[in-house]
Structure 1
Amino acid sequence: MKTNVFCLIFLISFGSLTAQKIYSTGQSYKADFKVFVVENEYQADLKVYKVSRPYEAKKNTGLWYFSNAPYNSDKKIYFCENEYEADLKVFFVDYKYQAKWKSSEKKFLLY
């Protein structure tokens, strides 16, 4: 019984670690990392789809829910104006199925 409870708690905790609830801050020093929005899909590390409900933002797949408060988010980001400042380059897609990592070497930023 104790093992089952421990496993359940672990699974719930792990699910929240990989969620994609994002808060966009106006100051770069408050952000976990900096993001630059590219104009072309091929330039991006991650193709992002903006979901409208927090429960839709699952795993580390590029489905982002933008929170209105930093305490409701998993990660805080800053949208920078120059590509060279960015830790991650993203391209916003029109459909959910298009969201995915193009370059997996930066996945660690969202864990």
Structure 2
Amino acid sequence: MIQKLLLPTLLFFLIQSLCAQNVFNSTAEHNADFKVFVVDREYKADLLVFKVDRAYKAKDNVGLWYFTDAEYKADISLFFVDRDYKSDLKIFYVDREYKAGWRNENKKSELNIPTRE
């Protein structure tokens, strides 16, 4: 019973922290907070992500990610999976910062994730 309540709560906080954070690309699935799959088309994504070149640029912006070089510097650790069905979140990398944000409104509302106004 506790496990059924704990998983959705944990997933909510992990996804919320993914909105704009310093992230670390983990090489081991068991060390990662979250499993992510990169889709090949924008329409398939839950979240459109733009990689920023400075950590301060990622703050308070949905879908702006800064990849750190060390796990201790990261807010969250990600593991990139090779199949979409293994993932917790599907992302697509965009080429412009203004394009970053939620694509899948169902996923966003299901998890109650805030968006950029």
TM-score by length of 2: 0.73
- Superimposed CA distance per residue, residues 30-71 of structure 1 (whole angstroms, 9 cap, x where no aligned partner): 010100000000000000000000000022500000000011
Paired residues of 2:20 and 2:63 also in contact (CA < 8 A): no
Instruction: Assess, with a 3 A threshold, how the Cα gap between structure 1 residues 78 and 90 changes in structure 2: closer, same or farther.
Output: same
The CA distance in 1 between the partners of 2:85 and 2:28, in whole Å, is: 17
The correspondence of residues 62-73 of structure 1 with structure 2, limited to 5 A, is: 62-73=63-74
3-state SS of 2:98 partner: helix
Q: Which residue does 1:74 correspond to in 2? A: 75
CA distance in 1, matches of 2:54, 2:48: 18
**Alignment check: 8 A CA contact 1:45 1:106 kept:** no
| CA contact 1:36–1:86 (8 Å) conserved in 2 | yes
Residue number in structure 2 paired with 1:95: 96
Seen in structure 2, the aligned counterparts of structure 1 residues 85 and 43 have a Cα distance that, compared at 3 Å, is: same
The superposition leaves residues 88-110 of structure 1 with CA deviations (integer Å, 9 ceiling, x where unpaired) of 000000000000012313566xx
Would the aligned equivalents of 2:20 and 2:62 in 1 still touch at CA under 8 Å? no
- Counterpart for residue 42 of structure 2: 41
Distance change >3 Å, CA 43–CA 107, structure 1 → 2:
farther
Residues 33 and 107 (structure 1 numbering): CA distance in 2 closer, same or farther, change over 3 Å?
farther
Larger Rg: 1
Alignment match, 1:14: none
TM-score normalised by length of structure 1:
0.77
Gap regions ≥5 residues in structure 2? 1-16
* Count of aligned pairs between the two proteins: 92
Share of identical aligned residues, percent?
Answer: 47
- Partner-residue secondary structure (3-state), 1:68: coil
* Higher mean C-alpha displacement, 53-62 vs 74-83: 53-62
Contiguous gaps of at least 5 residues in structure 1: 1-16
